[in-house]
Amino acid sequence: MVNHMKSNELKSQISRKWKDNLMAQVVILYQAEKAKPAGGKPASLCAVCQTVSDDYYSRTQIWIHLDHNTLAWQINGGRSLTS
């Protein structure tokens, strides 16, 4: 129905989906940083998380915090809550 408020559970699901998409972007960027030639030092996972989070904020004005420890766990084979 139109003009009904979303339930808290639905809001949480939507927020989790956005966060999972951003985490997937961070994993891809971090792996690309690690694959760079040895000419320079690759960016840390914390720096990549901050970059993606800042970029998302500049596009949408919505702040989503990405924890680098959670992403390190995911990179090493962990699963997200939604998968």
Q: CA–CA separation, 74 vs 60, rounded Å?
A: 25
Tell me: pLDDT of 17 over 60: yes
The answer to whether residue 49 scores a pLDDT higher than 70 is yes
The model's confidence at residue 44, banded by pLDDT at 50, 70 and 90, is confident
Sorted by where each begins, the domain ranges of the chain are 41-78
Q: How confident is the model at residue 6 (pLDDT cuts 50, 70, 90)?
A: confident
CB–CB of 42/36 below 8 Å?
A: yes
Give this prediction's pTM: 0.71
Alpha-carbon separation of residue 21 from 14, 24, 27 (angstroms): 11, 5, 10
The whole-number pLDDT of residue 58 equals 92
Cβ neighbours for 20, distance < 8 A, ≥ 6 positions apart:
80, 82
CA gap 83, 20 in Å, rounded: 10
